[in-house]
C-alpha cells in the first residue's frame, strides 16, 4: 500500500466537538497541554466551570497513569512559560498520588509563592486527601522554611482557604532561629515578639494609625507592599501617592482606575512616572503580563495618555518576536463562541503576527463567511483589536476554501480559534484540497485558546502544529517551529526537570 494512502487515506473524524460537529481526538499529551494552558475553569460558551473541572480532573488522572514524566514536564512548562496557575497546581496535586518522586522534584518549580501553596493545599483537601500525607508535608515544610516577613504580610492568605498559618499548623515546620519562631507564631495568630519582625510591626502599627501622616510614616518605615496597605486601611490620595512608587508593574496596571479616582494622576509627575513604567520593555517582560490583561485595562480606562501608554505597551510586548515570513495567511475566528477574552486575546495575537510579517500576509476574519480585516501596520494593535467583534456561526474551512478559489499560495496558515465548527466545510478537508491543488508543502498552525478536547486535525498530519495558551510565548513558538518543525509536545518532552 502506498505510504501516503496508508497514513492519510483512512483518516476520518472519530468524535464530535461541543457543537456536535465531526472532530478528531488527538493524543493524550496534546489534550493535556491544551488543558494546562487554556483551562482556567471559568465558564465558556460551550461548557460551565463544573464540567471543565470534571473533565480536567479526569485528564490529570489519565495523564498520571499514562505518562507521568511528560505530565511533570508539562506542569512545569505551563506554570513558568504559559503563566498559568490553577491547572498546574491541580495537576501537581494529582501527580503526588502517582509519583511522589516526580512530585517532589517539581514542587518548588510550580509552587512559587504563598498563594500557590494556599491554593495547592485547598485542592488537596478538595480531592478528599485531608492534609495530603508525608510526601506533601515534606515539600510544604521545605517551602515554609523560606518564608520571609515580606511574604508573611503580603500573602498571609487569611480567607483564601488555607492561610500560611494553616499551612504551618498542618506541616509543623521547625523554626531555624528566634526570628523565624516569632514569624511562625505571628502567622498562627499567637503572641509573638514583634521587635524581631520590623515589617510586621509596621503593619500592625499602620492598623492603629490615627492620621494619614502616621499611616504614610509606617508604610515608608516598613516598606509595606500595596496589597498589605489596601487590606489594612482604606487609602486616600496621599497614601496612594506613597504606594505608587513601590508598586510592581502588574499591580500598577490593575490599579490605574483607583489611582485616577483618587486624583493621583492629576499631578503630571505621577502621571509621567506611570506612563514610563507601563512603557518600560524590560519591566513588562519581567512582570510576564499576559497581553489580554493590557487589553482589559485599555477597555476600562478613559484617560488619553494612559490609553496611549497601553497601546505602546502591547507593541513592546511583541517587539522581540522573530519575523514570521511574508507568505503567511492569518485567520481569526470571530464566531459567537469566541465572545469575550477569546476574541480579545485572539485579535491581539493575530494583529501582532500580521505586523511581524511586515504587513505582507493575509489577515482574514471568519465566521460562516470570510472578511478581509484590512489591518494597518501603523495603527496600534489595541486600537485595531477593539474594532473586531463576534458574529455568526463557525465554518473553519471557509477561509482555506477562499484561498483555493483565489489560487493564493502561502507557506503557512495560522488559525486562531476555539475549533467549535457548527456548519460549512471542515477545515481539514479544505486543507487537504489546498495541499493537492495549490501548495502541497503548506504548514498549518492552529492556535487553540479554548479548553475543549476535540480538534479539527488528526494527530497523523505531520504538517499541522497545535499551539495552546494565552501568553506571547505562543507566537515565539510559531516563529521557532517555522524553522525547526517541532511540535509543542515534543518541545515539552525534551525539557530537563533538574
Helix, strand, coil fractions of the chain, as percent rounded to 5: 55, 10, 35
Q: What pLDDT score was predicted for residue 108?
A: 97
Are 334 and 311 within one domain?
no
Are 189 and 203 within one domain?
no
In a domain, 6, yes or no: no
Residue 326 is classified by DSSP as S
- What is each CA distance from 95 to 77, 83, 92, 147, 393, in whole angstroms? 15, 19, 5, 25, 39
What cell does 242 get? Answer: 506613597
Label residue 46 by pLDDT band (50, 70, 90): very low
Label residue 474 by pLDDT band (50, 70, 90): low
- For residue 45, pLDDT beyond 50: no
Are 67 and 202 within one domain?
no
Give the chain's length: 498
Range scoring the smallest mean pLDDT among 254-258, 374-378, 389-393, 460-464: 460-464
**Tens-digit pLDDT profile for residues 400-422:** 999 999 999 999 999 998 888 77
Phi-psi region of 409 (alpha: psi -120 to 50; beta: other; left: phi over 0): beta
Are 116 and 145 within one domain?
yes
- For residue 169, pLDDT beyond 80: yes
Angle at CA of residue 41, ends 36 and 45, nearest 5°: 110
Are 254 and 281 within one domain?
yes
Domain boundary (175, 193, 211) is at: 193
In a domain, 7, yes or no: no
- For residue 144, pLDDT beyond 50: yes
Could you tell me which residue, 455 or 295, shows the higher pLDDT? Answer: 295
Could you tell me which residue, 223 or 422, shows the higher pLDDT? Answer: 223
Are 311 and 353 within one domain?
no
Q: What pLDDT score was predicted for residue 133?
A: 84
- Domain hosting 80: range is 23-193
Are 290 and 148 within one domain?
no
Label residue 293 by pLDDT band (50, 70, 90): confident
pTM across the whole model:
0.79
- For residue 339, pLDDT beyond 60: yes
In a domain, 305, yes or no: yes
Label residue 1 by pLDDT band (50, 70, 90): very low
Handedness of CA 261, 264, 265, 267 (dihedral sign): positive
Task: Tell which residue, 306, 395, 303, 379, has the closest CA to residue 347.
Answer: 379
What cell does 496 get? Answer: 530537563
How far apart CA 399 and CA 322 sit, in angstroms, is 25
Are 188 and 65 within one domain?
yes
Could you tell me which residue, 325 or 65, shows the higher pLDDT? Answer: 65
Q: How many helices (H) and strands (E) does the chain have?
A: 27, 9
- For residue 348, pLDDT beyond 60: yes
- For residue 43, pLDDT beyond 50: no
Are 50 and 123 within one domain?
yes
In a domain, 419, yes or no: yes
- DSSP characters for 455-477? ESS-TT-TTEEEEE-SSTHHHHH
First-residue to last-residue Cα distance in the chain? 45
Domain boundary (193, 210, 237) is at: 193
45-56 average pLDDT score? 68
How far apart CA 422 and CA 253 sit, in angstroms, is 38
- DSSP characters for 284-303? HHHHT--HHHHHHHHHH---
In a domain, 15, yes or no: no
Quote the mean pLDDT of the chain: 86
- What is each CA distance from 237 to 240, 270, 443, in whole angstroms? 5, 12, 55
Is residue 358 within 8 A of residue 326, CB to CB? The reply is: yes
Are 353 and 309 within one domain?
no
Q: What pLDDT score was predicted for residue 56?
A: 85
What cell does 130 get? Answer: 485531608
Is residue 461 within 8 A of residue 467, CB to CB? The reply is: no
- For residue 437, pLDDT beyond 90: yes
Most confident of 62-71, 121-130, 421-430, 489-498: 62-71
Are 128 and 275 within one domain?
no
pLDDT above 90 as % of the chain: 50
- For residue 321, pLDDT beyond 90: no
Residue 321 is classified by DSSP as P
CATH number at residue 362: 3.40.50.410
Are 341 and 266 within one domain?
no
Domain boundary (170, 193, 216) is at: 193
Label residue 170 by pLDDT band (50, 70, 90): confident
Is residue 314 within 8 A of residue 495, CB to CB? The reply is: no
Q: How many domains does the chain have?
A: 3
**Tens-digit pLDDT profile for residues 68-94:** 999 999 999 999 988 888 899 999 999
In a domain, 11, yes or no: no
244-252 average pLDDT score? 89
Amino acid at each position: 500500500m502506498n505510504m501516503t494512502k496508508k497514513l492519510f487515506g483512512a483518516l476520518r473524524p472519530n468524535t464530535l466537538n461541543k457543537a456536535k460537529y465531526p472532530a478528531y481526538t488527538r493524543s493524550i499529551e496534546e489534550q493535556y497541554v491544551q488543558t494546562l494552558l487554556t483551562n482556567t475553569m471559568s465558564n465558556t460558551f460551550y461548557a460551565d466551570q463544573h464540567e471543565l473541572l470534571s473533565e480536567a480532573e479526569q485528564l490529570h488522572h489519565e495523564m498520571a497513569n499514562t505518562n507521568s514524566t511528560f505530565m511533570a514536564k508539562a506542569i512545569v512548562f505551563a506554570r513558568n512559560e504559559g503563566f498559568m496557575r490553577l491547572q498546574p497546581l491541580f495537576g501537581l496535586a494529582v501527580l503526588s498520588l502517582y509519583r511522589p518522586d516526580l512530585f517532589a522534584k517539581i514542587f518548588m518549580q510550580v509552587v512559587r509563592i504563598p498563594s500557590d501553596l494556599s491554593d495547592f493545599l485547598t485542592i488537596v483537601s478538595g480531592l478528599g486527601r485531608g492534609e495530603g500525607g508525608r510526601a506533601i508535608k515534606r515539600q510544604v515544610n521545605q517551602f515554609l522554611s523560606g518564608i520571609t516577613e515580606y511574604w508573611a504580610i503580603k500573602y498571609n492568605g487569611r480567607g483564601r482557604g488555607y492561610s500560611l498559618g494553616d499551612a504551618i499548623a498542618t506541616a509543623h515546620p521547625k523554626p531555624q532561629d528566634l526570628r523565624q519562631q516569632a514569624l511562625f507564631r505571628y502567622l498562627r495568630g499567637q503572641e509573638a515578639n514583634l521587635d524581631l519582625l520590623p515589617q510586621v510591626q509596621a503593619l500592625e502599627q499602620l492598623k492603629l494609625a490615627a492620621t494619614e501622616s502616621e499611616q504614610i510614616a509606617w508604610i515608608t518605615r516598613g516598606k509595606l507592599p500595596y496589597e498589605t496597605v489596601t487590606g489594612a486601611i482604606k487609602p486616600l490620595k496621599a497614601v496612594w501617592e506613597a504606594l505608587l512608587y513601590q508598586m510592581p508593574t502588574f499591580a500598577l496596571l490593575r490599579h490605574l482606575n483607583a489611582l485616577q479616582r483618587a486624583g493621583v494622576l492629576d499631578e503630571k509627575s505621577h502621571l509621567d512616572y506611570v506612563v514610563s513604567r507601563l512603557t518600560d520593555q524590560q519591566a513588562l517582560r519581567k512582570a510576564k503580563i499576559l497581553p489580554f490583561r493590557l487589553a482589559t485595562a485599555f477597555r476600562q480606562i478613559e484617560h488619553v495618555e494612559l490609553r496611549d501608554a497601553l497601546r505602546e505597551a502591547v507593541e513592546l510586548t511583541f517587539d522581540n518576536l522573530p519575523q514570521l515570513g511574508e507568505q503567511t495567511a492569518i485567520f481569526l475566528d470571530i464566531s459567537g463562541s469566541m465572545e469575550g477574552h477569546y476574541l480579545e486575546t485572539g485579535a491581539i495575537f493575530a494583529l501582532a503576527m500580521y505586523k511581524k510579517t511586515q504587513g505582507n500576509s493575509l489577515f482574514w476574519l471568519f465566521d460562516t463567511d470570510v472578511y478581509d480585516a484590512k489591518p494597518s501596520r501603523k495603527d496600534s494593535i489595541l486600537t485595531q483589536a477593539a474594532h473586531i467583534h463576534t458574529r455568526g456561526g463557525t465554518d473553519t474551512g471557509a477561509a482555506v476554501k477562499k484561498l483555493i478559489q483565489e489560487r493564493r499560495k502561502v507557506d503557512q496558515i495560522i488559525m486562531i480559534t476555539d475549533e467549535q465548527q457548527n456548519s460549512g466545510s471542515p477545515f481539514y478537508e479544505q486543507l487537504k484540497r489546498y495541499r493537492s491543488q495549490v501548495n502541497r508543502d503548506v504548514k498549518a498552525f492552529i492556535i487553540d485558546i479554548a479548553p475543549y478536547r476535540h480538534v479539527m486535525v488528526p494527530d497523523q498530519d505531520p504538517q499541522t502544529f497545535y499551539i495552546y495558551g494565552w501568553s506571547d510565548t505562543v507566537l515565539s513558538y510559531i516563529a521557532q517551529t517555522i524553522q525547526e518543525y517541532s511540535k509543542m509536545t515534543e518541545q515539552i518532552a525534551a525539557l530537563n526537570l533538574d
